[in-house]
Amino acid sequence: MYLISNIILIINVGALAFIIYLLYKILMYVSKR
């Protein structure tokens, strides 16, 4: 049970970091134009 919750937490953090990274890339692309 503890392992499963840890895996879910890691996936959530990874997804959040990925979304932030995508937003950052979009912002950089928009500001360059």
CA distance linking residue 18 with residue 14, whole number of Å: 6
pTM score above 0.75: no
Domain that holds residue 12: 1-33
CB proximity list for 18: less than 8 A, separation 6 or greater: none
HSE-up of 8 (CA within 13 Å, CB side)? 5
Q: What was the pLDDT predicted at 1? A: 74
Structural domains counted in the chain? 1
pLDDT digits (tens, 9 = 90+) for 1-33: 789 999 999 999 999 999 999 999 999 999 988
| Other beta carbons less than 10 A from residue 28's beta carbon | 9
